[in-house]
Amino acid sequence: MKRFVAGSLVVAVTMLGSQTLASAQDAPQTAQAQNNKDSAPYPKPTNLPNPYRLVPDWPTLPASMKGPNGHKWGEVIRVHLAPDGNIWIFQRCFYDKPAGDATCLNRGDANPPILEFSPAGKLLKSFGVGLFAHPHGFTVDKDGNLWTSDTNDEDTILGMPAKNAAGVTMGQEVLKISPDGKVLMTIGKEGVAGDGPYTFDRPTGVAIAPNGDIFVADGHSRNKFNAARVVKYSPDGKFIKSWGKMGSELGNFREPHDIYVGGSKGYVYVADRQNNRIQVFDQDGKFIAAWKQFGQPSSVYVDKDDNIFVGSVYLNPNGGARGEGPTTGENDRGIVVANAISGALKYFIPDPGDLSKMTDTGTSASGIAEDAQGNIYAADVGENNLRKYEKVQ
């Protein structure tokens, strides 16, 4: 196991002037002009078409893996597809109380954080017990290896020591894990917070470029070093560079909550959650665009056909800065589908739950993936669910 512890592009940002795709295409703005209008209201896209249908009773879970309080799941944080078409899930060990603080501590072998399903929804394998306190970032690379992050930065969670079998506090690291559950590489120093080249301050997401370069979104809200950045590593885990810091300026972040490298351009897409925007960069960190039409994003995924999928909430003004509820009115939450090059909106898939009564932190689909048939998978950390949608139009 490897361990590491120690400019000519024209930028256009699409702003929705009405709730139609045509208006999104007709009203482009420069990134700087958009940045000067951060407080402008953005219409909700809930009248966009929804060509997807929720697949009922998917997947099939063993009786021993039913979540608490009658739920089928606990907090499901991410979902991704392997090259062989199987579906991998990263979740907080079928636990959900209190919301946002669910943990894998002391959950035992019956409640593993990593699960693999067939496309038909059959559980194939599960593992990862004892590796994580607070699962968060997750992806699958072209070789089928899993990449995970743990955002825990506390010595105790819900009164329980957050230590592994070796007595080390878990969290603040990125793990590369084989499809059989073997830890192949660690980046970061377990239990140690920092904002250096080989330390993290609550790393939220991991993305792998086609050439194997590793991109980590670092800086979950309420962190000790106020980190808010993207960190890039070589395929063997050597530090290359980082960019961004805490702030609302273009290229900076306020809680970079998810990251994905994909599409025909190979861009780096970041769900800059508390700045209420998606930011786009090339793989060297050069700023491309900032898009505000996605509400407050928690997740981002881009397919080979340049479709971008964003799990978002369009906040009710009475709902708080991060959509905390219950609210006096709607907090519209769902998956927004758009063009990954222009940002023009296409579809909106609303959450199936009672959106006005959700009490989590604005999260809709905290993880999104798509298979070769165009089915969409959503990891729902707020409604404690794993959803599959098939396209019917």
What are the Cα distances from residue 218, in Å, to 86, 149, 259, 285, 288? 28, 10, 10, 14, 20
CA dihedral 215, 345, 220, 281 (to 10 degrees): 30
Q: Which residues of 95-128 are buried (b: 16+ CB within 10 A; e: fewer)?
A: bbeebbebbbbebeeebbbbbbbebeeeeeebbb
Q: What pLDDT was estimated at residue 41?
A: 47
pLDDT for position 266: 98
pTM of the model: 0.89
Cα torsion 128, 380, 172, 258 to 10°: value is 130
Give the position of tokens 């165009």.
374
State how far the Cα of 101 lies from the Cα of 106, in Å rounded to an integer. Answer: 14
Amino acid at 309: F
- The CA distance from 257 to 53, in Å, is 27
| Cα–Cα distance for residue pair 289/339, rounded to 1 Å | 13
Residue 248 tokens read as: 């609302």
Please report which residue ranges of the chain form alpha helices under DSSP H: 21-26, 31-35
pLDDT at 329: 60
For residues 329 and 149, give the distance between their C-alpha atoms in angstroms, rounded to a whole number.
35
CA-wise closest residue to 336 among 351, 320, 326, 321: 351
Q: Which residues pair with 270 in a beta bridge?
A: 259, 279
Confidence (pLDDT) at 71: 77
The number of beta carbons lying within 10 Å of the beta carbon of residue 47 is: 11
Which strand (E) or helix (H) includes residue 251?
Answer: none
Low-confidence ranges of the chain (pLDDT < 50): 3-41, 359-361
Q: What is the DSSP letter of 26?
A: H
